[in-house]
């Protein structure tokens, strides 16, 4: 199968590309390599993918529609996985226009090309942050998500609505995946596990917000990739049981679906820190701080919809996942002379 994968030099993108290539798909990866964090890490991820015959890479910006049209015309993808985006809740407080360009304009351009070139299925990244001000746990795709508390979350909610409109108007099968706190090897430097592990190994103090009382549904990256691939292989279809009189947000009369992708086993942030201490063999020095604007207190995923659709639920134990990350981190830092 010919698959266009945006954000291929990103954390989830690299792992997804490796999985698709290993099973024999032909993958064209796109990435703009923006310097939101160290570009060398993105280049190292691409080097880790290597140069198999069924993989090619183009450095391009999905916000530039003229470039995309030529790429779609030449490659003619059967399916598209759209992971490219400007991430980060806190970064969005200071750089709002980056989110408009990358997350809104870029996504609209992808939708337009999928429409014009009759792509059989679009799978796109959403986020658990769309649940925003919701307090009912676990978070369910059946619940309304009308109260985002960060611009990042608002752009992801907008992506879901944009995708639905294209599914309705043009019959484009589209599936959105709401990722819950993804972690693992090759993760971003702004992620908690990356910052905590580096500081703990160096004997430095870590900043823990919300006084350590936050709860997160940490989800290992291999589980996320498994969910992406399984959803990709089962294109969205109209829901025969959809009731326009009582419309639920995660299905439709159009070929459109939304799925939570989480471990469904929430972890107190300080227990996550303890898992890193066990993996590193070092004790953490903790500086407790108040919650930051845009952060939610707790996240937990209801993964029933994903299981019913694909027969799969994320399952990697938190200590196992943290051990894998710390092992990779040590090797990567040593290779870079860190």
The residues carrying an active-site annotation are 152
50: left (phi over 0), alpha (psi -120 to 50) or beta: left
Per DSSP, the three-state class of 129 is helix
Tell me, what DSSP letter sits at residue 117?
T
Could you tell me how many residues make up the chain?
Answer: 338
Under 8 Å CB-to-CB from 335, ≥6 apart: which residues? none
Under 8 Å CB-to-CB from 282, ≥6 apart: which residues? 200, 201, 203
Per DSSP, the three-state class of 150 is coil
The sign one gets for the Cα dihedral 210, 212, 213, 219 is positive
Other residues' Cβ atoms within 10 Å of the Cβ of residue 67: 15
H/E stretch holding 338 reads none
Q: What whole-number distance in Å separates Cα of residue 185 and Cα of residue 293?
A: 28
Tell me the pairing of strands 2-6 and 267-268.
unpaired
What percent helix, strand, coil does the chain show, rounded to 5?
45, 15, 40
In 3D space, the residue among 209, 241, 216 whose CA is nearest the CA of residue 308 turns out to be 241
Three state DSSP letters for 24-63: CCEEEEEECCCCCCCHHHHHHHHHHHCCCCCEEEEECCCC
Q: What is the residue whose two structure tokens read 């910052």? A: 195
Q: Virtual CA dihedral for 68, 73, 76, 80, nearest 10 degrees?
A: 20
């Amino acid at each position: 199968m010919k698959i266009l994968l945006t954000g291929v030099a990103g954390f989830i993108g690299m792992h997804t590309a490796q999985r698709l290539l290993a099973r024999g798909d032909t993958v064209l990866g796109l990435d703009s390599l923006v310097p939101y964090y160290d570009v060398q890490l993105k280049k190292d991820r691409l080097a880790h993918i290597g140069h198999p015959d069924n993989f090619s890479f183009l450095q391009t910006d999905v916000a530039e529609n003229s470039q995309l049209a030529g790429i779609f015309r030449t490659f003619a993808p059967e399916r598209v996985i759209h992971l490219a985006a400007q991430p980060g809740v806190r970064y969005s407080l200071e750089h709002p226009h980056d989110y408009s360009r990358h997350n809104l304009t870029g996504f609209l351009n992808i939708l337009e090309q999928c429409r014009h070139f009759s792509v059989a299925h679009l799978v796109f990244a959403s986020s658990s942050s769309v649940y925003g001000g919701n307090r009912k746990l676990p978070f369910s795709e059946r619940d309304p998500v009308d109260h985002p508390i960060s611009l990042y979350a608002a752009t992801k909610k907008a992506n879901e609505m944009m995708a639905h409109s294209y599914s309705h108007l043009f019959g484009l099968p589209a599936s959105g995946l709401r990722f819950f706190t993804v972690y693992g090897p090759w993760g971003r430097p702004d992620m908690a596990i990356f910052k905590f592990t580096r500081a703990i190994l160096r004997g430095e103090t870590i900043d823990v917000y919300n006084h350590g009382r936050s709860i997160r549904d940490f989800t290992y990256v291999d589980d996320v990739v498994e969910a992406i691939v399984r959803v990709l292989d089962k294109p969205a279809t109209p829901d025969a049981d959809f009731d326009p009189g009582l419309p639920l947000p995660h299905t439709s009369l159009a070929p459109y679906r939304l799925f939570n992708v989480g471990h469904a086993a929430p972890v107190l942030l300080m227990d996550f820190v303890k898992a890193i201490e066990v993996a590193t063999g070092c004790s953490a020095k903790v500086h407790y701080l108040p919650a930051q604007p845009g952060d939610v207190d707790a996240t937990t995923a209801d993964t029933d919809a994903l299981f019913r659709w694909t027969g799969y639920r994320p399952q990697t134990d938190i200590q196992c996942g943290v051990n894998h990350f710390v092992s990779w981190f040590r090797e990567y830092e040593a290779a870079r002379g860190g």
